Amino acid sequence: MERTVRIIGAPTDYGANRRGVDMGPSALRYAGLDAQLSAAGVTPLDAGDIDAPRAEVCDPQTTPPASGNAKFLTETEAVCRQLADEVAETLAEGHTPLVIGGDHSVAIGSVCGSAREAELGAIWFDAHTDLNTPATSPSGNVHGMPLAALLGIGAFDGVDWANASGLQADNLALVGLRSVDDPEAELLDDTDISVFTMSDIDQRGITAVTNDALAAATDGVDDLHVSLDLDWLDPTEAPGVGTPVRGGVSYREAHAAMERVADCGLLRSLDLVEVNPILDESNRTAELATELAASAFGKRIL
């Protein structure tokens, strides 16, 4: 049966420090996302964008006092509730959701929706750990908190819109880390999350690391969610991101990882996040993101 991929835009920059990532969905579409998916042998269906008011018309300090430092948390909740419903409806209709951001806080909604009717594993391809909480975040930017939210850590404990009951820490793998805050490192020591740093990739190679991440994420679950933050790649490959960190994966390493994702046959949902066209060079980061999505859905050289 031919696979259909429903594209869901989440044009937010509530969770980020540098403006412009809300234009990511437009940049990805302009970069030829439909054509890349078609070349991968799937049928793209564009659902348009969810409703996300511009940050300029919102109050960044709408955070409940008990939750600590978390900017635009009320707006993030509204977006993630919408997105979770859209993702769950997409799956119920037999399509595969592809969420295009927007900042990484939107992954709270996409994972919650994907895990609503399934035991889910997840792989986070990212330079950052995304395990800060409102109490530990130095910036208050929620794009550094989605995994803490999904796992119900700290102020997110028992928060219905943010916790993914179908995702457990032992089925979560982080690949390509190279920027970890001290409180996040302490949390990693106390959880069953599988962690693969850039040093692991340097020593063992991207294929071996991705295979191990897939094994951990898919052990005993129904399906797999992949969240791909474009700052996972080295800034020389993907300059159009808000929080670049030197020493990331190469173009071919990124494609090799996505090819392994496709080969596992369990991809249920996918995020492409943190493309910021204002910081990009001739839309090259968005173009790379569309190519990586195609590889994740099965496109090959031959």
For the annotated catalytic residues, the residue numbers are 104, 126, 128, 130, 143, 229, 231, 274
Q: Beta-carbon neighbour count of residue 194 at 10 Å? A: 20
Helix H or strand E encompassing 302: none
Query: Which two three-digit tokens encode residue 161?
Result: 């819109």
Q: How far apart are CA 248 and CA 234, in angstroms?
A: 4
Residue type present at position 47 = A
Question: For residues 176 and 232, is the Cβ–Cβ distance under 8 A?
Answer: yes
Question: For residues 217 and 171, is the Cβ–Cβ distance under 8 A?
Answer: yes
- Using DSSP, state whether 170 is helix, strand or coil: strand
Question: For residues 116 and 26, is the Cβ–Cβ distance under 8 A?
Answer: no
Question: For residues 223 and 236, is the Cβ–Cβ distance under 8 A?
Answer: no
Angle at 149 between CA 52 and CA 92, to 5 degrees: 65
Q: How far apart are CA 13 and CA 24, in angstroms?
A: 9
Query: Which two three-digit tokens encode residue 275?
Result: 């493309």
Question: For residues 268 and 223, is the Cβ–Cβ distance under 8 A?
Answer: yes
Query: Which two three-digit tokens encode residue 240?
Result: 């159009």
H runs (alpha helix) in the chain: 24-30, 33-39, 73-92, 107-114, 146-151, 182-189, 198-204, 206-218, 251-264, 284-296
Question: For residues 156 and 76, is the Cβ–Cβ distance under 8 A?
Answer: no
